[in-house]
Structure 1
């Protein structure tokens, strides 16, 4: 039986820019990078935040990530929201109340920011 999602992958045009973006703004850390024997992919980079892994597929000529999103959980929504907004990261959907799927989520809010390659970064808390 399956246990969990191992990682989330998406295309990036500028590998170093994306690594810097996710390390500097969200606390991810690069832990592995590899060359790939596929002509359209330059490298694959893995970033980790706790048990969450992002796979950045470096394709300078690749497609955009329209319609793609992932969601992080924040332990301090107001602080994280203010910091990312101050950093000038574009907002797709302003902060608003989130649906309560479980009792522990009572009073949570959600917001959606836009990453360097059009990926949507939601966070709740």
Structure 2
């Protein structure tokens, strides 16, 4: 197979600066690149470890049925911090099935991002 991994996940966002600040402040992403397409669309690239999030400044309908998942070694702390920041909860924390060894006692929670995207936390 010629493929190795997903390079990035892209989100269309209504307010690019607001979304960059949201992901930097609440999830620890850091913007490392800005780009404007030949058509004039502004894009910001953010990193969290090896994970790349591409935020595309497009005014479109809110995202439906889309989510991405972040792993946390400090699940309870992450949940408490996001709730304290009044980030909307879509699904309260609950136990989740293990997909592979090491995930037996993991839990998951889902929060809502500024454009309706779902942000799952597992750990």
Unaligned regions of 5+ residues in structure 2, if any?
none
Query: What's the offset of the Cα at 1:45?
Result: 0.7
What TM-score, normalized to structure 2? 0.96
Give the equivalent residue in structure 1 for 2:39: 38
Offset from partner CA, 1:36-80 (integer Å, 9 cap, x none): 1225xx301100000000000101x22221111000000110000
Contact 1:11 1:63 in 2 (8 A): no
Q: Which runs of 4+ in 1 moved over 4 A?
A: none
Alignment of 1:89-108 (within 5 A): 89-108=87-106
Give the equivalent residue in structure 2 for 1:28: 29
Give distance in 2, aligned partners of 1:9 and 1:72.
15
What TM-score, normalized to structure 1? 0.94
Which range moved further: 17-26 or 30-39?
A: 30-39
Give the equivalent residue in structure 2 for 1:48: 47
Contact 1:7 1:53 in 2 (8 A): yes
| Corresponding residue SS for 1:103 | coil
Unaligned regions of 5+ residues in structure 1, if any?
none
2:84 to 82, 86, 101: 86
| Corresponding residue SS for 1:82 | helix
Q: Are 2:3 and 1:2 equivalent residues in the alignment?
A: yes
Paired positions, count: 122
